[in-house]
A and B are shown apart, each in its own frame.
Chain A
Amino acid sequence: MKKSLGAVAVAAAIALSLSACGGGGSSAESAKGEINYWLWDANQLPAYQQCATDFQKANPDISVKITQRGWDDYWSTLTNGFVGGTAPDVFTNHLGRYGELAENKQLLALDDAVKKDNVDVSKYNEGLADLWVGQDGKRYGLPKDWDTIGLFYNKGMLASAGVTEDQMKNLTWNPEDGGTYEDVIAHLTVDKAGKRGDEAGFDKNNVAVYGLGLNGGGDSSGQTEWSYLTNTTGWSHTDKNPWGTHYNYDDPKFQNSMAWFAGLADKGYMPKLETTVGASMADTFAAGKSAINAHGSWMTGQYMGYKGLEVGIAPTPVGPEGKRASMFNGLADSIWAGTKKKDASIKWVEYLASADCQDVVASKAVVFPALKASSEKAAEAFKAKGVDVTAFTEHVKNKTTFLYPITDNTAKVKGIMEPAMDAVVSGKAPASSLTQINEQVNALFK
């Protein structure tokens, strides 16, 4: 039944797309009327609703209809919309997805508009604007926000273990013995009898509090799981970024780091992967089952929102090459190539990328806007709420970020890497098994 339904949807979509070809329209028509805008993060909806209201005041003949769809349905609904002619005029785009969309000619190139309206892309945080230039050299999005990784920690647990905030700010890590990062994680781990992970007689099979929480295997990017460690060793996911054509999961530097990471679960310092299916890592942290969670800056609101829980944020540890590392991911707004309201859509995208809107987003303290000036305002807004976010911003200031790996075939790479990384992190396969997996991944690019 599932098969038939899917096939029908596809067949019906094809029929619609044949009749929906064309579009465009005269430029007077395309500059006014209603435009549809989609985003997936419900936390950000109020901020963008405010932007839309302000935008409509300035442009009375354009109205913006915002639709929020959960991440799980977002991309399949969007793809069906492209084929069926019902896609939104403007939508929030992700680095892992836009390459394929651009290649299939679903995105409007923004170069002419950027030139004509003098959008200054150097005002964005470094590198963010370049991420949205495709392999063909054309720009397919204007940056809206960014995120980095930090260590959320339970202040109460650290205090009772005698770990200071200074220690947390100066953690070091290496793949051989885990550095002071592993020392702290071990010390924060407590078994059911009250013995700490670094004490004699610690029972690794009956752990009450894990030093480090676990989100999952991390699939191809390891964004919050392990990339903040692996990429301090000089390793990087691909030969170049963006648009690399060769993945490096066979590198011993990477495999040693992964072996250390998987070893944490074996030592009892981190929950076993099989126990993390279900309840979210943030919720188990709030339930007092882990002391430190490595997670993205977009989770700040959730971690700080748990009642009765004192949470601090520390920067990720310094690696063997003497530097910290954090993945730097950014979203952007793109325009669908099939839009009938091209001129109005361009106006809206440029407004979303402008200081007017990004300052509004900053004031809500949910995410860091892409403009440098607005980022600083967001940091202040967080501070006003009593949250110190320097752990996230200092990565950008000190240029210790690396970009989310952008390549072709990202969905297929993820399809191969997800089970492979699960096997390594759960200890079912050695890290060296990734050499053969890497061959499968690179075969996609031949």
Chain B
Amino acid sequence: MTTLAKPARTARPQTGAPSPRGSYRRLGDLKIALFFIAPAMIGFIFFYVVPTIRGVYLSFTEYSILGDPEWVGMDNYTAIAKDPLFWNSLAVTGQYVFLNIVLQTALALGLALLMHQVAKSTLVRGALLLPYLMSNVIAALLWFWMLDYQIGVVNQFIEWAGLPRVAFFGSEEWAIPTQAVINTWRHMGYTALLIFAGLQAIPGHLYEVAKLDGASAFQTFRKITVPLLRPVLVLVLVVTVIGSFQVFDTVAVTTQGGPVNATRVIQYYIYQRAFTESDFGYGSAIAVILFLILALVAFIQMKFLKGNESDLD
């Protein structure tokens, strides 16, 4: 997923007048700081900064990987603007993100409250995290077989219940909701854990005061829990929305964009254009657009939900 960089604080001790040793000390700190930062920095530069810059460059070229990139200016971007499959991928991804995030956040919040107030056993809390410990591909394949139209166990139960079988992955109406629910199942335990950590940070005396004042459970939740949980919820939303936009593995191992174009999500479309159709310039251009969309979404969330301020201070 994404790492949110926190602003680094300078650990330099506050001294009054600059002493003769000051500059020496700063330099000494710099060396040690660089030493400690280096492993992460090298990884960041080689695996994030360089590829990102190269990706942006490639988005202005026509490049089939086997030849040399050829500069075409804005051609890829103007072609994308007119590409119905690109707009389709945005709509499909939007549908997926909406279903996935609404379900996942609501369920995770409920689970977190249960963990906080009811299920205090470590075993139960640990069990909630189990689906998250499974790889995405395994989870997707597992459900792919269980939900199979012909030989899936779920459809067998549906038939016994006297209902018609459902083509969970094969029908255009069901394919995206099915995958959104599978990934909700996989991620909600982990999301619940993050929210749970936020709940634990709320001082217990606030609840006691509320109780003394005769507040109902719902009032306590609305007036104390939600406002004080807001920074954590915003962080969780930013991280999960970005992750949700990048859905790929579930689609790649099950429907591969189909039926028709019902699951051709944006990441899969990028992969298809770049790696299957050897159109790396076009693929890079869509990737750049996705990058901008995600930056904008994260910015809006942080700005309007005031994610970087806490009401606890």
User: Is the pair A104, B260 in contact by a Cβ cutoff of 8 Å?
Assistant: no
CA distance A13 to B65 in the complex (A): 9
A397 at the interface (CB under 8 A from B): no
For residue B30, give the distance in angstroms from its CB to the closest CB of chain A.
29
> Given that A83-B66, A287-B150, A289-B150 are contacting pairs, would A278 and B145 also be in contact in the complex, using a CB cutoff of 8 Å?
yes
Stretch from B47-55, B228-236, B303-311 contacting the other chain: B47-55
For residue A390, give the distance in angstroms from its CB to the closest CB of chain B.
32
A86 at the interface (CB under 8 A from B): no
> Given that A277-B149, A426-B259 are contacting pairs, would A104 and B64 also be in contact in the complex, using a CB cutoff of 8 Å?
yes
* Contacting residues, chain A, for B171 (C-beta < 8 A): 274
Among A401-446, those with CB < 8 Å from B are 411-412, 415, 418-419, 422-423, 426, 428
Stretch from B103-111, B216-224, B275-283 contacting the other chain: B275-283
User: Is the pair A415, B272 in contact by a Cβ cutoff of 8 Å?
Assistant: yes
* Contacting residues, chain A, for B75 (C-beta < 8 A): none
A8 at the interface (CB under 8 A from B): yes
* Contacting residues, chain B, for A105 (C-beta < 8 A): 66
A63 at the interface (CB under 8 A from B): no
A6 at the interface (CB under 8 A from B): yes
Among B52-82, those with CB < 8 Å from A are 52, 54-55, 58, 64-67
CA distance A114 to B290 in the complex (A): 50
Closest to A100 in B: B278
* Contacting residues, chain A, for B272 (C-beta < 8 A): 415
CA distance A100 to B66 in the complex (A): 10
* Contacting residues, chain A, for B50 (C-beta < 8 A): 8, 11
Closest to A415 in B: B277
A7 at the interface (CB under 8 A from B): yes
Q: Convert A1-43 into 0s and 1s, putting 1 for each residue whose CB lies closer than 8 angstroms to a CB of B.
A: 1111011101101000000000000000000000000000000
B258 at the interface (CB under 8 A from A): yes
B149 in complex: contacting residue of A83, A278, A418, CB < 8 Å: A278
CA distance A366 to B275 in the complex (A): 31
* Contacting residues, chain B, for A66 (C-beta < 8 A): none
Among B106-122, those with CB < 8 Å from A are none
B196 at the interface (CB under 8 A from A): no
Residue among A3, A274, A275 with the highest chain B CB neighbour number at 10 A: A3
* Contacting residues, chain B, for A2 (C-beta < 8 A): 246, 248, 267, 270-271
A58 at the interface (CB under 8 A from B): no
Closest to B54 in A: A11
User: Is the pair A418, B258 in contact by a Cβ cutoff of 8 Å?
Assistant: yes
Q: Convert B260-291 into 0s and 1s, putting 1 for each residue whose CB lies closer than 8 angstroms to a CB of A.
A: 11001001001111111111100010010011
For residue A393, give the distance in angstroms from its CB to the closest CB of chain B.
32
CA distance A423 to B272 in the complex (A): 19
B32 at the interface (CB under 8 A from A): no
A106 at the interface (CB under 8 A from B): yes
* Contacting residues, chain B, for A278 (C-beta < 8 A): 144-145, 148-152, 169-170
A200 at the interface (CB under 8 A from B): no
Q: Convert B167-195 into 0s and 1s, putting 1 for each residue whose CB lies closer than 8 angstroms to a CB of A.
A: 10111100000000000000000000000
B1 at the interface (CB under 8 A from A): yes
* Contacting residues, chain B, for A289 (C-beta < 8 A): 150
* Contacting residues, chain B, for A11 (C-beta < 8 A): 50-51, 54
Q: Convert A101-126 into 0s and 1s, putting 1 for each residue whose CB lies closer than 8 angstroms to a CB of B.
A: 10011100000000000000000000
CA distance A82 to B279 in the complex (A): 16
User: Is the pair A273, B47 in contact by a Cβ cutoff of 8 Å?
Assistant: no
A276 at the interface (CB under 8 A from B): yes
B277 in complex: contacting residue of A106, A274, A411, CB < 8 Å: A411
CA distance A283 to B148 in the complex (A): 13
User: Is the pair A4, B47 in contact by a Cβ cutoff of 8 Å?
Assistant: yes
CA distance A11 to B46 in the complex (A): 10
> Given that A3-B287, A76-B275, A419-B261 are contacting pairs, would A274 and B52 also be in contact in the complex, using a CB cutoff of 8 Å?
no
CA distance A79 to B254 in the complex (A): 24
A238 at the interface (CB under 8 A from B): no
User: Is the pair A419, B1 in contact by a Cβ cutoff of 8 Å?
Assistant: no
A411 in complex: contacting residue of B151, B172, B255, B276, CB < 8 Å: B276
Give chain A's interface secondary structure class. helix
> Given that A278-B145, A287-B151 are contacting pairs, would A1 and B1 also be in contact in the complex, using a CB cutoff of 8 Å?
yes
* Contacting residues, chain B, for A287 (C-beta < 8 A): 150-151
A279 at the interface (CB under 8 A from B): yes
Q: Convert B192-230 into 0s and 1s, putting 1 for each residue whose CB lies closer than 8 angstroms to a CB of A.
A: 000000000000000000000000000000000000000
CA distance A422 to B259 in the complex (A): 7
CA distance A287 to B156 in the complex (A): 15
CA distance A426 to B51 in the complex (A): 41
* Contacting residues, chain B, for A10 (C-beta < 8 A): 51, 54, 58, 65, 280
User: Is the pair A79, B259 in contact by a Cβ cutoff of 8 Å?
Assistant: no
* Contacting residues, chain A, for B144 (C-beta < 8 A): 278
* Contacting residues, chain B, for A273 (C-beta < 8 A): 170, 259
A275 in complex: contacting residue of B54, B170, B264, B287, CB < 8 Å: B170
CA distance A404 to B87 in the complex (A): 33
Among A42-84, those with CB < 8 Å from B are 76, 79, 82-83
* Contacting residues, chain A, for B290 (C-beta < 8 A): 3
* Contacting residues, chain A, for B1 (C-beta < 8 A): 1
CA distance A8 to B51 in the complex (A): 5
User: Is the pair A3, B145 in contact by a Cβ cutoff of 8 Å?
Assistant: no
User: Is the pair B278, A411 in contact by a Cβ cutoff of 8 Å?
Assistant: yes
Q: Convert B98-142 into 0s and 1s, putting 1 for each residue whose CB lies closer than 8 angstroms to a CB of A.
A: 000000000000000000000000000000000000000000000
* Contacting residues, chain A, for B248 (C-beta < 8 A): 2
CA distance A415 to B85 in the complex (A): 11
For residue A272, give the distance in angstroms from its CB to the closest CB of chain B.
8
A245 at the interface (CB under 8 A from B): no
CA distance A411 to B278 in the complex (A): 8
B167 in complex: contacting residue of A1, A83, A277, CB < 8 Å: A277
User: Is the pair B148, A279 in contact by a Cβ cutoff of 8 Å?
Assistant: yes
* Contacting residues, chain B, for A8 (C-beta < 8 A): 46-47, 50-51
A284 at the interface (CB under 8 A from B): yes
Residue among B145, B149, B151, B248 with the highest chain A CB neighbour number at 10 A: B149
For residue B51, give the distance in angstroms from its CB to the closest CB of chain A.
4
User: Is the pair A274, B54 in contact by a Cβ cutoff of 8 Å?
Assistant: no
Q: 29 A-B contacts, Cβ less than 8 Å apart?
A: A4-B48, A6-B274, A7-B51, A7-B54, A7-B284, A8-B46, A11-B51, A13-B65, A76-B275, A82-B66, A83-B65, A83-B66, A100-B278, A104-B67, A274-B149, A274-B259, A275-B170, A276-B149, A277-B167, A277-B255, A278-B144, A278-B151, A278-B169, A289-B150, A411-B276, A412-B277, A415-B272, A415-B277, A418-B258
| Contacts A6-B274, A106-B66 known; 11 new A-B pairs at CB < 8 A | A3-B267, A82-B66, A83-B66, A274-B149, A278-B169, A279-B151, A289-B150, A415-B276, A419-B257, A419-B261, A428-B260
Contact residues of B with A, CB < 8 Å?
A: 1, 46-48, 50-52, 54-55, 58, 64-67, 144-145, 148-152, 165, 167, 169-172, 246, 248, 254-255, 257-261, 264, 267, 270-280, 284, 287, 290-291
